[in-house]
Chains A and B, each alone.
Chain A
Amino acid sequence: MTASVQTEANLEALRKEFRAWLEANAPHGWREACTQQDAFGDTQRNWYRKLVAAGYATPHWPQGWPGGGRSLAEQKVIYEEIARADAPRLILYFVSTYHAASTLLEWGTPEQQAKYLPRILEGEVWCQGFSEPNAGSDLAAVSTRAERRGDKYVVNGQKIWSTMAQYADRCLLLTRTDSGGAKQAGLTFLLLDMKAKGVEARPINQITGDEEFAEVFLDDVEIPVEDRLGGEGEGWAVAQSTLSSERGLTLLELSERLRGGLWRLATAIQKQGRSKDQGLLRDFGKLSTKVEACCALADQFLQKRIAGQEQVGDASFIKLHYARTLRDFVGLGVRVSGLEGQYFAPLTYGGGQETGNWMVDFMNSYNWSIAGGSDEVQRNIIAERVLGMPREPKGWQL
């Protein structure tokens, strides 16, 4: 049982303490600086180091690990305050502190945990090697081959959409060790050293000009057997833990940031001299209601989680609603900014979803409707697993 007692008073004390810490420590001027890509990495590294040192980087880790043992309610306070301070989201460390850590905690041997978790706190960047050119929404179709040779696996293949892989030290790699039988059955989960021979990460140039994702090419890459998570053929189950590691909780922070970012839209409307435009006020009112609903949904999700009453589909509802609301939000920004908004303005690397650079924000909003299980996948989950509608028949072959 965690030492922290969940009274309102304790949460408020944490809020006060963390807010004061943020005032002294949160980076300033990073939005301006991060129009240069070099500044992005430095900003992330410095900010992460500070949070780790103060014990605020890994509140979701279990008791006993540095910074860990915080309740969900406490985590929420920390998210809210980081959003309120307009400090950067730790996108460079997101996979390492969430996906890698929770997968290691669930599937790692004590040796693997003791080896890798401290490195994450020291600043190792991890990426996720799941998607492939022919395995996107249909993840189990992964075809990157891992062949067992003695105490090593030899891996060949290609991964895509690996977030920040060009910065990464290590990769959560989903491979195929067996092609016979059900496609889920032949998968194996490996931990890849990104500096190993035969690994090449090539950033993908996005429509915004940003490079948040990379392709990873694997050519006869050797991975020691001791860097396998779970057994051979258990990769699908391990990958499920990775995917559910932050199920829905990120949306808490993002919903708060959405609410916190409404001022940018309000200010844009005022600057255009349209504060009395009834049609626009109506659209802005509807949007702010949708944002409130998003926060209410995130809050309800958290309460259900705390009470152990989370249900199938809950995370899909919030992700889908968030993605639609975000698109409405940034779409209204583009509309309000008119021709002015069409003139090129450099993006802020790591600036988040609602920066007020509306064209960039609009293009970035696809991150939430495509990545992490597209809107369409979420709709399937809701239709089939919540509403009980039947799956489509299989059988169509290429």
Chain B
Amino acid sequence: MSLDRAELQDSARRMFGEAGLAPDRRQIWSLIAEMGWLGLAAPEELGGLGQGRDALGVLYLELGRVLAPGPVIPALLAVEAVSRSELLADRAAWIARLVAGEVVTGSLKGGAVEIRVADTGGYVVSGQLSAAPDADEAGHLLAWSADGDFCALIPLQQANVVIEPRPTWDASRRLFDVVFRGAQLGGELVLARGDAAADLVRDLQEHLMLALAADGVGGANAALEMTVEYLQTRKQFGRPLAMFQALKHRCADLKTQIVAAEALFWSVAEDRHGGAQDPLLRAAAAKSYAAQVFHAVSEEAIQLHGGIGLTAEHPCHLFLKRALLNEALAVGGDAWDAAIGAEALERLGRAG
């Protein structure tokens, strides 16, 4: 079956629009589950809708626009991991549980844990992951090992797992640290091992980057629209603020940055222009750029709103907080920007 991207966007925008900005997390989560959108990218033979990354892109963009809370990103990562697993026995059943809204979390920071074979059979997990949304309500956590040899769903309801809330300035995401102190992992929950795990983990990291890129582009668009609307309404010196060229030009520059970040996002999500650049770095570039643009737009949004933008009742700050959090997620931009630069230097330089 083919799902038209514009139709998906329309229905997502309509539904999320009704729920409003920064909606109630339970309400939005059940909306998403009811629509079956968690199964967008799962293969049809496993009960999914068989769509590609571009459909997920539409969803992430729309979620970003309304600053949606909830564990959508790790849930969709888990759907991808389960769909591609060659080891999991009951994939269709797992997809059904995930699509129905059973919470599986994962680290938005993209970190890894240590997984080793237990003396008693099965595996033992140790280490700490940060920025796992809604981990307190999750049955499992999608994680991979630092050596790239494992990807697994780790059960959280056990004594050797400590789940610690980490309230962030951005209240639209409920983030937790998850500490594994020799937690038990049954072999039946291992999704991939060896080369298959390395490939899968790489793709999941790419997916995470793209999700955050789309989130940033969506948020930036909404923040700018809100700002332009405010400038149209607010009058000073006998005319709407939107008439002042000094302000118009700033808005035009922001819009141009958003359009560029969006074009880059789609070119990566649709895998056009694959070219010479490493795919993970391309996704990292899209994320880093979108996060910078979201930061710039939400920073300017407060400035252009003036005093009202500093009040807690006005939503300006919600955009700023989410934007600055996004910059720190999935490995901060600095490290990736340097990695992108180093790779390009190596590939293009003729004096090395």
Interface residues of A (CB under 8 A from B): 262-263, 266-267, 269-271, 275, 278, 280-286, 288-290, 292-297, 299-300, 316-317, 320-321, 324, 376, 378-380, 382-384, 386-393
Please choose the segment from B71-79, B187-195, B246-254, B321-329 that sits at the chain A interface, where 4 or more of its residues have CB less than 8 A away: B246-254
Closest beta carbon of chain B to A196's beta carbon, Å: 41
Chain B residues with CB below 8 A from A384, complex form: 248
Q: Are A300 and B263 in contact (CB under 8 A)?
A: yes
- Name the prevailing secondary structure of the B interface residues: helix
Judged by a CB distance under 8 angstroms, whether B312 is at the interface is no
Give Cα A271–Cα B253 distance, bound, in whole angstroms.
Answer: 35
Q: Please, how many angstroms separate the alpha-carbon atoms of A217 and B73 in the complex? A: 65
**Nearest residue, chain B, Cβ from A265:** B348
Taking CB atoms, residues of chain A closer than 8 Å to B341 are 280-286, 288
Docked Cα-Cα span, A278 to B338, in Å, equals: 6
A281 closest partner in B (C-beta)? B341
Q: Is B168 located at the chain interface by the 8 A CB criterion?
A: no
Mark B327-346 against chain A: 1 for CB-CB distance below 8 A, else 0: 00000001011111110110
Q: Is the CB of B260 within 8 A of A266?
A: no
Give B234 Cβ to nearest chain A Cβ, in Å.
12
CB-CB nearest 10 A-B residue pairs: A285-B341, A285-B340, A383-B248, A281-B341, A266-B349, A296-B267, A284-B341, A382-B252, A379-B252, A285-B337
Contact of B349 among A263, A293, A376, A392 (CB under 8 A): A263
Q: Which residue of A lies closest to B342 (CB)?
A: A281
**Stretch among B109-117, B202-210, B236-244 lining the A interface:** B236-244
Smallest distance from the beta carbon of B1 to chain A beta carbons, Å?
23
In the bound complex, residues from chain B placing their C-beta under 8 Å from that of A317 are 255-256, 259-260
Task: Return the chain B residue nearest A286 by Cβ.
Answer: B337
Neighbour of B261 across the interface among A280, A282, A293, A387, CB < 8 A: A293
- Determine whether the beta carbon of A292 is less than 8 Å from that of B349: no
Query: Of A300, A378, A387, A393, which is within 8 A of B243 by CB?
Result: A393
Q: Could you tell me if B232 and A292 are in contact, using CB atoms closer than 8 angstroms?
A: no
Indicate if the CB atoms of B345 and A284 lie closer than 8 Å.
yes
Does B131 touch A at the CB level, under 8 Å?
no
Contact of B248 among A270, A283, A389 (CB under 8 A): A389
**Pair A390/B285 contact, Cβ less than 8 Å:** no
Docked-complex contact B349 and A269, CB < 8 angstroms: yes
Taking the complex as formed, is B19 at the interface, i.e. its CB lies under 8 A from any CB of chain A?
no
Say whether B184 faces chain A, with CB atoms less than 8 Å apart.
no
Write out, one digit per residue, whether chain B residues 241-281 have a CB within 8 A of any chain A CB (1) or not (0). Answer: 01111001101110111011101101100001100010000
CB-based contact B267/A382 at 8 Å: no
B282 with A267: CB separation less than 8 A: no
A263, A271, A391: residue with the most chain B Cβ atoms closer than 10 Å? A263
Q: Contact string, B120-141, partner A, CB cutoff 8 A, digits 1/0?
A: 0000000000000000000000
Known: A266-B349, A285-B340, A294-B260. A379 touches B267 (CB 8 A): no
- Inter-chain contact B352/A387, CB cutoff 8 Å: no
Report A-chain residues with C-beta under 8 Å of the C-beta of B253: 320, 379
> Chain B residues in contact with chain A, CB under 8 A?
224, 228, 231-232, 239-240, 242-245, 248-249, 251-253, 255-257, 259-261, 263-264, 266-267, 272-273, 277, 282, 285, 288-289, 334, 336-342, 344-345, 347-352
Q: Which residue of A lies closest to B350 (CB)?
A: A267
Determine if B349 and A389 form an interchain contact, defined as CB atoms under 8 angstroms apart: no
Q: Are A292 and B285 in contact (CB under 8 A)?
A: yes
**Among candidates A285, A289, A386, A393, residue contacting B239 with C-beta atoms closer than 8 Å:** A393
Complex alpha-carbon distance, A295 and B277, angstroms: 13
Q: Is the CB of B231 within 8 A of A389?
A: yes
B267:A300 contact, CB within 8 angstroms: yes
Chain A residues whose CB sits within 8 angstroms of the CB of B285 once the complex forms? 285, 288-289, 292
A340 to chain B, nearest CB (A): 14
Inter-subunit contact A271/B263 (CB<8 Å): no
Inter-subunit contact B349/A275 (CB<8 Å): yes
What chain A residues lie within 8 Å of B231 (beta carbons)?
389
B276 closest partner in A (C-beta): A259
21 A-B pairs (CB sep. < 8 Å): A263-B348, A270-B351, A285-B338, A290-B260, A294-B260, A295-B267, A296-B267, A299-B263, A300-B263, A317-B259, A320-B252, A321-B256, A379-B248, A382-B252, A383-B251, A383-B252, A387-B228, A389-B242, A389-B251, A392-B243, A393-B243
B345 touches A270 (CB 8 A): yes
Of the candidates B249, B266, B344, which one forms a contact with A383 in the assembled complex, judged by CB atoms under 8 Å apart? B249
- Are B349 and A296 neighbours in the complex by a CB distance under 8 Å? no
Knowing that A320-B253, A388-B232 are A-B contacts, what are 6 other residue pairs whose CB atoms are under 8 Å apart, sorted by A's residue number? A284-B345, A293-B260, A293-B264, A294-B260, A295-B273, A296-B267
Q: Which residues of B contact A285 (CB under 8 A)?
A: 285, 336-342, 344
| Chain B residue at minimum C-beta to C-beta distance from A322 | B260
- Choose one: B245, B256, B289, B342; the contact of A382 (CB below 8 Å): B256
Q: Is the CB of A292 within 8 A of B259?
A: no
Contacts of B251 in A (CB 8 A): 383, 387, 389
**Interchain nearest-CB distance for B237 vs A (Å):** 12
Q: Give the complex CA separation of A380 and B246 in angstroms.
A: 10
Contact of B345 with A387 in the complex, beta carbons under 8 Å: no
CA distance A305 to B277 in the complex (A): 27
Q: Is the CB of B252 within 8 A of A293?
A: no
Question: Contacts A262-B348, A378-B252: A293 and B340 contacting too (C-beta < 8 A)?
Answer: no
Q: Which residues of the partner chain B approach A383 to less than 8 Å between Cβ atoms?
A: 248-249, 251-252
Given known contacts A380-B252, A392-B243, A293 and B232 CB-to-CB distance under 8 angstroms: no
A275 CB contacts on chain B under 8 angstroms: 342, 345, 349, 352
- Report the Cα distance A379→B242, complex, angstroms: 13
Does A389 lie within 8 Å of B288, measured CB to CB?
no
Q: A275-B349, A391-B243 are in contact. Are A296 and B256 (CB under 8 A)?
A: no
Whether A392 pairs with B340 at a CB distance below 8 angstroms is no
What are the residues of chain A within 8 A of B339 when measuring CB–CB? 285
A31 to chain B, nearest CB (A): 15
Nearest chain A CB to B119's CB is how many angstroms away? 43
A16 to B234, CA, bound (A): 58
Task: Using A285-B338, A289-B340, A300-B266 as known contacts, say yes or no to A379 and B349 having CB atoms under 8 A apart.
Answer: no
Given contacts A288-B344, A300-B266, is CB(A270)–CB(B352) below 8 Å?
yes
Instruction: Assess A379 versus B340: contact at CB under 8 Å? Given A292-B264, A296-B267, A320-B256.
Output: no
Given contacts A282-B337, A389-B251, A393-B239, contact A267 B263 (CB under 8 A): no
Q: Residue on B with the closest CB to A387?
A: B228
User: Which of B244, B289, B349 makes the CB contact (< 8 A) with A267?
Assistant: B349
* Bound form: Cα–Cα A376–B252 in Å: 10
Residues of B contacting A284 with CB < 8 Å? 341, 344-345
| Given A262-B348, A317-B256, A382-B256, also A389-B243 (CB < 8 A) | yes
